[in-house]
Amino acid sequence: MNSVSIVGLEKNTGKTETINYLLKTINKRVGITSIGLDGEPIDQLTSMPKPHIEIVKRTIFATAEKYYKLKRFHSEILSVDDDLRTPLGRIVVSNALEKGEVILAGPQKSKDIKTLIDKMLKLGAQIVLIDGALSRLAPASPVITDAMILATGAAVSLNTDELVKKTKFVTDLIQLERENNSELENLTGGIYALGESTIKLPIKSLLSFEESDKPILDYGKKFYICGALGESFLNYLCKEKNLNEIELIINDFTKIFVKPETYYKFIQKGGKIKVLHSTKLLAITINPISPYGYTMDSDEIINRLKEVINIPIINVRESKSWMI
């Protein structure tokens, strides 16, 4: 495993604290960057204080020129690439010569994130951490990173039932069953009906499925969707009978944009959704403190989540031993 994305279910769910915990406990040389901005002292949306990102000596970090100049510790520059840019300047890849606090601002395009991961690995990192965001799921795609950690907590909801419901939904999507069909890798752009022969449907995406020359289910019952799976198409299928005969395959869970109610209605009526590329979800971390100071019962959250989710669930403020 060479790369891990850390994604928050909402802002202020403890993603930065999870990253700091990993930086302190991983027994490997770490590379780290962000797809957006992390480590800033004040949250730009809530104006509330945020924890700093604290890197240790020999960490390889990548950030925009503007924030590289603001750091207050010694480091050596390993790379400045004109092809890796952000609105805040070129991406500077550096080796920390001592511990210190850093603001991370990295590329947002999937191609650039992948390029930067490969660069940091070549420069000596043994594992690369990517600070992500649920609103920008690209780094959590198994095409970009090898594994993922999901951060959830009181910022999602102060109602435990609602917090568990939202976390379980995202977890269910992340853990969708994988379709083992390597031939689908060669199909690009559009929707394909899979049967004795593979037929490309005469529509560009599911956004225009109602413009098809005939009802889409007349083409078959099993489809490979190269792009996004949206709410309107799944709602359309939910009105059909014999949903247990229908199977949808998408590239990975980051391509699903449906409400929990719609997803579970489809699944409960027998419909199947699989992914061509599955994501390895390593753990869920929880932050029981909301950004406005309300504190939930950490043990209750963990126990309730463990009733419905079968992966490690930890509060990084209390855990003392967990390594990748």
How far apart are the C-alpha atoms of 18 and 5, rounded to whole Å? Answer: 11
Backbone angles phi, psi at 149, to 5 degrees: -120, 135
Cβ-based burial of 120 (10 A; exposed 0-12, middle 13-18, buried ≥19): buried
Find all residues with CB under 8 Å of 187, minimum gap 6, and list them: 198, 200, 224, 226
**pLDDT score for 146:** 93
Integer CA distances (angstroms), 158 to 11, 149, 164, 259, in order: 14, 21, 10, 20
Integer CA distances (angstroms), 98 to 28, 62, 149, in order: 16, 15, 27
Find all residues with CB under 8 Å of 219, minimum gap 6, and list them: 193, 199, 201
- Residues 77, 93 contacting (CB under 8 angstroms): yes
Q: Can you say whether the dihedral through the CA atoms of 162, 308, 303, 51 is positive or negative?
A: negative
* Domain boundaries 1-172+277-313, CATH class: alpha beta
**pLDDT score for 15:** 87
Query: Among 57, 52, 53, which Cα is nearest to 30's?
Result: 57
Q: DSSP code of 51?
A: P
The single residue listed with the structure tokens 């010694």 is: 74
Backbone angles phi, psi at 76, to 5 degrees: -120, 135
**pLDDT score for 137:** 60
Low-confidence ranges of the chain (pLDDT < 50): none
The number of beta carbons lying within 10 Å of the beta carbon of residue 184 is: 16
Q: How many residues does the chain have?
A: 324
AA letter at 18: T
Note the pLDDT tens digit of each residue in 51-103.
789 999 999 999 999 999 999 999 999 999 888 888 889 999 999 999 999 99
**pLDDT score for 164:** 97
**pLDDT score for 14:** 86
**pLDDT score for 311:** 94
How far apart are the C-alpha atoms of 311 and 109, rounded to whole Å? Answer: 30
Query: Among 277, 240, 270, 241, which Cα is nearest to 256's?
Result: 277
SS3 of residue 203 by DSSP:
coil
How far apart are the C-alpha atoms of 113 and 119, rounded to whole Å? Answer: 10
For the chain, how many helices (H) and strands (E)? 7, 20
Query: Among 126, 131, 151, which Cα is nearest to 53's?
Result: 131
Find all residues with CB under 8 Å of 196, minimum gap 6, and list them: none
**pLDDT score for 85:** 86
- Residues 151, 8 contacting (CB under 8 angstroms): yes
- Residues 163, 152 contacting (CB under 8 angstroms): yes
- Residues 130, 124 contacting (CB under 8 angstroms): no
Note the pLDDT tens digit of each residue in 268-282.
999 999 999 999 999
AA letter at 243: L
Query: Among 235, 241, 183, 242, which Cα is nearest to 209's?
Result: 235
CA atoms within 13 A on the CB side of 35: 28
What is the residue extent of each domain of the chain?
1-172+277-313, 178-273
Integer CA distances (angstroms), 25 to 29, 39, 100, 251, in order: 11, 19, 16, 33
**pLDDT score for 144:** 85
How far apart are the C-alpha atoms of 303 and 175, rounded to whole Å? Answer: 20
